């Protein structure tokens, strides 16, 4: 799916900043694409953009209104529906990551049709994919893997892509989750693909490319997560990464949503290589990305240093320290 830019970010009237984390991700990584934010009375989120009306955003050239908020149950409240219809009437497309499909709401479907506008439900895909073939294709690929879900794979890959581009390397961020799709304006929410086509969808997502071009692929789940390991494995096989980065959140005590303990970083490195070799015998770990936001600066830096020494790999916090050392290794190993 390709989402037209620039965006108007719709924040609705959500009750806290966390509910607007998708919108915040778009602002953090693609500020140039955002013409403003639209908030309803009582909204407790603020992404730091100028507050605009839909008409003002349209006048500024906005092409898509992104509903960048999650509310309980992914439902779409009635008073949001009216604003979505207004956006369509003003000539904007609308994109959301909600559970409820926009097109299943008659007023929205009708307004989209009448105005010839597109509705993007990024949590879903109506595309059909081939099954994965497992044959190696040209180009370099890096995949984020993790000790758990929600440990910073998206931020890590976005930060790597940004750093690589800043150094003049050929790089594309490849989104595999709904927020990533909104941030990058394309991609697929891999967890919404029919099970038989996970690997095939990952192959489609990162097609053959120049020999020195990197696809920097957002990871999903964890090989050690009992709910989602199947998705993780299918993505690993389809992505065929040459290089992977292990993402980790050091304060988590058990895996997200289940009772399982977290694997160690060493476990993840070993298992990713064992499984990843099926479609890329050269797969190698090139770094560790630790989300240290809950640690004091001193503790964070000490943890990064200790982890780096233990594994003999660059260890970074993409936000706190940047991804430079990992990109240094990529340049040395793959572009020397």
Q: How far is the CB of 132 from a second copy (least distance, A)?
A: 4
Q: How far is the CB of 281 from a second copy (least distance, A)?
A: 12
Nearer to a second copy, 1 or 111 (CB): 1
166-191 per-residue burial string, b: 16 or more CB within 10 A, e: under 16: eeebebbbbbbbbbbbbbbbbbbbbe
The SS3 of residue 329 is helix
Distance CA 262, CA 264 (A): 7
Distance CA 213, CA 242 (A): 12
Q: What's the length of the chain?
A: 336
Do residues 249 and 289 make contact, with C-beta atoms less than 8 angstroms apart? no
Do residues 242 and 284 make contact, with C-beta atoms less than 8 angstroms apart? yes
Nearer to a second copy, 61 or 226 (CB): 226
Q: Is 200 in the site for a second copy (CB under 8 A)?
A: yes
Q: How far is the CB of 112 from a second copy (least distance, A)?
A: 22
Q: Is 227 in the site for a second copy (CB under 8 A)?
A: yes
Nearer to a second copy, 239 or 286 (CB): 239
Q: Is 264 in the site for a second copy (CB under 8 A)?
A: no
Q: Is 230 in the site for a second copy (CB under 8 A)?
A: yes
CA-based diameter of the chain, in Å? 61
Distance CA 24, CA 49 (A): 10
Spatial CA neighbour of 234 closest among 172, 155, 145, 148: 145
Q: How far is the CB of 278 from a second copy (least distance, A)?
A: 6
Nearer to a second copy, 230 or 324 (CB): 230
Do residues 73 and 100 make contact, with C-beta atoms less than 8 angstroms apart? no
Which of 55, 59, 82, 194 is the binder for a second copy (CB under 8 A)? 194
Binding segment toward a second copy, per CB under 8 A, in 69-77, 189-197, 243-251, 323-331: 189-197
Which of 73, 259, 281, 298 is the binder for a second copy (CB under 8 A)? 259
Nearer to a second copy, 86 or 191 (CB): 191
Q: Which of residues 278-307 bind a second copy (CB under 8 A)?
A: 278-279
Q: Which of residues 41-70 bind a second copy (CB under 8 A)?
A: none
Q: Is 129 in the site for a second copy (CB under 8 A)?
A: no
Nearer to a second copy, 48 or 138 (CB): 138
Burial of 26 (0-12, 13-18, 19+ CB in 10 A): buried
Do residues 174 and 206 make contact, with C-beta atoms less than 8 angstroms apart? yes
Footprint on this chain of a second copy (rule: CB under 8 A): 131-135, 190-196, 198-200, 224, 226-235, 237, 257-260, 271, 274-275, 278-279
């Amino acid at each position: 799916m390709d989402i037209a830019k620039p965006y108007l970010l719709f924040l609705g009237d959500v009750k806290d900043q966390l509910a607007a984390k998708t919108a915040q991700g778009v602002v953090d990584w693609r500020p140039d694409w955002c013409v403003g934010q639209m908030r309803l009375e009582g909204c407790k989120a603020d992404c730091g953009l100028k507050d605009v009306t839909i008409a003002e955003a349209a006048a500024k050239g906005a092409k898509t209104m992104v509903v960048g908020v999650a509310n309980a149950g992914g439902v779409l409240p009635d008073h949001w529906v009216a604003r979505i219809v207004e956006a369509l009437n003003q000539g904007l497309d609308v994109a959301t990551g909600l559970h409820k499909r926009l097109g299943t709401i008659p007023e929205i479907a009708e307004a989209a049709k009448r105005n010839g506008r597109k509705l993007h439900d990024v949590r879903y895909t109506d595309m059909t994919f081939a099954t994965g073939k497992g044959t190696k294709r040209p180009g370099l690929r890096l995949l984020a893997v993790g000790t758990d879900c929600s440990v910073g794979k998206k931020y890590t890959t976005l930060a790597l892509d940004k750093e690589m581009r800043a150094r003049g390397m050929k790089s594309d961020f490849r989104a595999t989750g709904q927020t990533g799709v909104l941030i990058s304006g394309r991609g697929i929410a891999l967890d919404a693909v029919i099970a038989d086509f996970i690997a095939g969808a990952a192959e489609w997502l990162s097609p053959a490319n120049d020999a020195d071009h990197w696809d920097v692929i957002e990871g999903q789940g964890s090989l050690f997560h009992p709910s989602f390991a199947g998705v993780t494995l299918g993505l690993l096989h389809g992505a065929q990464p040459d290089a992977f980065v292990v993402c980790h959140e050091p304060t988590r005590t058990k895996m997200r949503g289940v009772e399982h303990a977290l694997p160690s970083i060493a476990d993840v490195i070993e298992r990713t290589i064992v499984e990843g070799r099926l479609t890329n015998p050269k797969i190698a770990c090139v770094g560790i990305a630790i989300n240290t936001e809950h640690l004091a600066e001193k503790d964070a830096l000490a943890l990064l240093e200790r982890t780096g020494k233990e594994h003999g790999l660059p260890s970074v916090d993409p936000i706190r320290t940047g991804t430079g050392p990992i990109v240094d290794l990529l340049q040395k190993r793959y572009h020397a």
